[in-house]
Amino acid sequence: EVQLLESGGGLVQPGGSLRLSCAASGFSFSSYAMSWVRQAPGKGLEWVSAISGGTTTYYADSVKGRFTISRDNSKNTLYLQMSSLRAEDTAIYYCAKGASIAPRCAFDLWGQGTMVTVSS
Amino acid sequence: DIQMTQSPSTLSASVGDRVTITCRASQSISSWLAWYQQKPGKAPNLLIYKASSLENGVPSRFSGSGSGTEFTLTITSLQPDDFATYYCQHYNSYSWAFGQGTKVEI
């Protein structure tokens, strides 16, 4: 079955760190760009970060310098290392599969999301 | 950065209605636009890519049009399963952005 499964969310204090994972199955993971998209409670979608099928990375200004996206193609897994977390980072974090190896594409498969809450 | 603006924010409609949602980009994005549907508590689902191409498995009552800065998503004969929030998204540059969403309600 083609699917994405996120994990690693939870409650973290402001200034803390957290690493999200996204396990992919059912498709050739290394052949597609991947992204993280978040959604604050009751709000719209916000693109966070993307990575090509290789190592080229892209970040939203709101997370640049604090978040790091990476992938392990041998483990079919996408990661998002988040540090210096702020209350405004509280959101459901979705991983999303790009429709091509280049990041400049729509997202044709989404995970179920993992909740990150930044609060003291 | 390119900004995406959807209208309306909320749309009240009935089963069987024809519904149109508009998305405007702050600068030309050619046809690098996608539309997604999101139901409460669920992840978004791709409906349309490259402005007018229907994703596999999406009912043909959904259609997209436009290019440059103005785009529309049309649902002909609205069905009960279509009551949801719809988002446009550009992927013209390496800084993707979503519109604020349009909630289609009964």
Q: Is A60 on the interface with B (CB under 8 A)?
A: yes
pLDDT digits over A9-28, tens only? 999 999 999 999 999 999 99
DSSP letter at B55 equals: P
State the Cα–Cα distance between residues A2 and A28, nearest whole angstrom: 10
Quick check: A103 pLDDT over 80? Answer: no
pLDDT digits over B23-60, tens only? 999 999 999 999 999 999 999 999 999 999 999 999 99
Mean pLDDT of A28-55: 94
Buried b (16+ CB within 10 A) or exposed e, A83-93: eebeeebbbbb
Query: What is the enclosing helix (H) or strand (E) of A109?
Result: strand A107-110
**Which residues from chain B sit within 8 angstroms of residue A35, using beta carbons?**
96
Phi-psi region of A31 (alpha: psi -120 to 50; beta: other; left: phi over 0): alpha
Give the A:B interface size as CB pairs under 8 Å: 57
Partner residue facing A106 (CB), from B34, B94, B95: B34
